[in-house]
Amino acid sequence: MAERHEYIWGSEFYVPHIARESLAIYPKPKPTYVVTVTADSITCVPEGFSPQEAEKRAIQYHFSDIIGCDCLRGTNTGDCNAYLVLYAYPHRRKLASKKTSRRRETLTLMFDQRVLYEENQQAANAWRVMVDAILQGFQIRSFSGEYSCELSLVSLCFRPRAAESFGHHALIVVAVVVVVVVIIVSRTEQLLCSPLQFAGA
């Protein structure tokens, strides 16, 4: 499969993207964003704005700052949308200071292009599998997230990145443990505070 090299906002070069979709960001259905996934980041650029204004409103998270993701569904009756929530701890500059700090942020992508919830949920789950694979250190050569119930949710071709040392493996184990703990805490907070619920609930 040929790589798709296109300009990604925030990059100085034309880089290959893994996936791209027009999605809204919860809780507002408008504007929609062109959401682009590369091996290093997820970038959301709003549609319907001038290039300068779109750049100001763009949202970008590096995978080095993302700790996990979940598929959720709305609690309101008749809500057919599916939601992919990404949890991140990005570096943010403090006011009137050159220092940065980390604070948990969430990015909730709305999958609403199909009438049936099951179809929207399939698309959201395909993206969840993709994001999880990238976070686990896999290189994705191809991605095909299908809306159709008759097709597989996702087609991924994995090639693990070579570990350079035992220390690298140890860091991965520690990171996985931390991610699991944070995700458990995040899920608890979501259940208590969010109008969304987990897709499997």
Q: Any idea where the domains of the chain sit in the sequence? A: 5-161, 166-194
Q: Which CATH number fits domain 5-161: 3.40.50.2300, 2.30.29.30, 3.40.50.1370, 2.30.30.280?
A: 2.30.29.30
SS (H, E, C) the chain: CCCCEEECCCCCCEEECCEEEEEEECCEEEEEEEEEECCCEEEEEECCCCHHHHHHHCEEEECCCEEEEEEEEECCCCCCCEEEEEEECCEEECCCCCCEEECCEEEEEEECCCCCHHHHHHHHHHHHHHHHHHHCCEEECCCCCCCCCCCCCCCCCEEECCCCCHHHHHHHHHHHHHHHHHHHHHHHHHHHHCCEEECCC
pLDDT of residue 180: 53
Alpha carbons 44 and 183: distance in angstroms, whole number: 23
**Tokens 């942020």 identify what position?**
105
First to last CA, the chain: 37
pLDDT of residue 189: 54
Q: Give the residues across from 7 on adjacent strands.
A: 14
Q: Which residues of 17-44 are buried (b: 16+ CB within 10 A; e: fewer)?
A: bbbbbebbbbeeeeebbbbbbbeebbbb
CB 138 within 8 Å of CB 158: yes
pLDDT of residue 181: 54
Strand 138-140 versus strand 41-46 pairing type: unpaired
Mean pLDDT for each 10-residue chunk of the chain (201 residues)? Answer: 43 67 93 93 94 92 95 88 95 78 93 91 91 86 52 43 46 53 54 61 56
Which tokens is 101 given? 């700090």
